[in-house]
Each structure stands twice: as structure tokens, then as C-alpha cells.
Amino acid sequence: MVLIQATDLTKQYNDVVAVDGIDFEIRDKELLVLVGPSGCGKSSTLRLLAGLEDITDGELRMDGKLVNDVSPKDRNVSMVFQNYALFPHMSARRNMTFGMKSRGSFDDEEIDERVREAAELLGIEDLLDRKPGELSGGEKQRVAIGRAIVRDPDVFLLDEPLSNLDAKLKTQMRAELATVHDDIEATTIYVTHDQTEAMSLGDRIAVMNNGEIQQIGDPQTVYDYP
Ligand code: ADP
Ligand code: ADP
């Protein structure tokens, strides 16, 4: 089943065309990697998917509905950022529960249970009372991933989540993210400039350049290209 469908999707900032009329489909529970050089329009595409930016032209549908017609609170989309974007004055646990508590749609028992499950999956059970300043880069990123998955998202977006980590941690976190993807069964769009990351994680890969998708396919087809 196709969950996300973009048709002639375009994003322009003043005179910069960041996303230049792209078409793609993402199947339910698939992991699609958007890969390409800095400035090619990956983040802008992701931000359109997240509803953080208005669409300039074209169409974006999730589950058949135009995203503009669905209010953000009815869209179960969560996002992980390169710089973690954790609240510095809140504990890891509070960072993870804040969004759910402010929505008011879960009771405390369910929130505790979800935090326990996410923390176990990410191996951060012992870090939940610490604030971001007391965590390493990898630990902060695990908490940020925990915050995103604790809501059980339908659509999970990641923007260069590993680019601030050293090489060794990158390899380790890549494996962890593959496990997380298998476990949470969310449709996942993962942005990176790193081909190795794209190859090892993607069910399919979309190669972007200059605001356009140049190729889209499974890792073998895309990188066997002469
Ligand atoms: P990538 O994620 O591939 O690095 P971006 O989507 O961030 O690419 O950027 C694509 C282009 O759009 C770049 O030229 C960038 O400078 C420009 N751009 C991105 N965001 C904005 C913005 N908020 N205002 C103006 N230009 C932007
Ligand atoms: P990334 O591309 O990895 O997301 P950037 O540093 O390019 O990171 O962008 C960070 C933020 O700055 C984003 O919100 C993006 O929209 C905005 N941005 C990027 N390029 C520009 C630009 N040329 N002018 C204004 N804002 C920009």
C-alpha cells in the first residue's frame, strides 16, 4: 500500500527553488532514504512531509488525504533532528513525555509503559533522570529517537540523525536504527548525505540533486549505475 504520494512537489524560498517538482511514492512501513549533497533539497522535502513548511506547488498526500487538509495534531508524524533539539532544562524522561502529556490523549499509566518500552529498545533505561547536558552525543540522540517513537508514529522522519556522531558510534547507531525501524513498523524517511548510510539502511533510495530526484530504487539498482 502506498502511504505517501508526492506529485510535482515544489518548495521555493524567495528566489531559491529548493524542491523542484518531484514525484515519489512511499509504501506503508517502508524505509526510504533521501540522499544527496548539501543544499540539494533533502531537508526541505522532509520539512514538507513534517508539515513544517507550506507547499509552494504540487501535491502531497498521506493515506490519500492532502496534508494541507489534515491538522498537525491529527497527523501522527514525528521527526528526529541532527542537533537533537532536546529541551535542556528537562530530564530525558520529561523530554520523551512532554509531547504526549501536552496532547492529553494518553493516561499516565500508558505514558509510563510507552517510555519503558522505548527506553528498553534504545538501552537508555538508566539515563531517564538525566538532563541533556549530562548525556553524551550518542545518548542525546537515543533520547531524541525515544521521544520520536514513544508516540508510536505512523510516519517517522529523520534528518541527518548521525552526522554529529563519530565514526564508530555512527556504525553502531546505524544498526540500532535498523532495529528501531523493524520494531516500530512506521513508514520512515531518512535524510543523509552519506552513501554508506543510505546503502545500509534504505529499502529504497532516492538520489536528489539540485532540487530534483535523479534516481529512485532499491540500493543495488541505484548504486550499480555506471
Ligand atoms: P539539504 O537538506 O539537501 O542540505 P535544504 O533543503 O536544506 O537542502 O536546502 C535546499 C536549498 O534551499 C538550499 O539552497 C538552501 O540554502 C535553501 N533553503 C533551505 N531552507 C531555506 C529557508 N528557510 N530560506 C531560504 N532558503 C532556504
Ligand atoms: P540541514 O540542511 O542539514 O537541515 P541547514 O543548516 O541547511 O541544515 O538548515 C537549518 C535551518 O536553516 C533549516 O530550518 C533551514 O530551513 C534553514 N535554512 C537553510 N538554508 C537557509 C537559507 N539559505 N536561508 C535561510 N534559512 C535557511
How large is the ipTM? 0.73
| H or E segment to which residue 46 belongs | helix 42-50
Q: What is the pLDDT of residue 74?
A: 79
List residues near ligand 2 (CB under 6 A).
43, 82, 159-160
Q: What is the pLDDT of residue 132?
A: 97
pTM for the full predicted model: 0.89
Quote the cell numbers at residue 45.
522535502
Residue 192 CB less than 6 A away from ligand 1? no
Q: What is the pLDDT of residue 226?
A: 47
d(CA 171, CA 89): 30
Q: What is the pLDDT of residue 143?
A: 97
Q: What is the pLDDT of residue 224?
A: 64
Q: What is the pLDDT of residue 160?
A: 95
Asked whether the beta carbons of 49 and 218 are under 8 A apart, the reply is no
Which residue has the CA at smallest separation from atom 5 of ligand 1? 41
Residue at grid coordinates 502529556 = 101
Q: What is the pLDDT of residue 221?
A: 87
Which residue has the CA at smallest separation from atom 2 of ligand 1? 43
Helix extents (H) in 104-136: 108-122
Residue 49 CB less than 6 A away from ligand 1? no
Which residue has the CA at smallest separation from atom 8 of ligand 2? 43
d(CA 80, CA 42): 14
pLDDT averages per 10-residue partition of the chain, 226 residues: 93 97 96 96 96 94 89 85 94 93 83 94 96 95 95 94 90 92 94 93 96 94 69
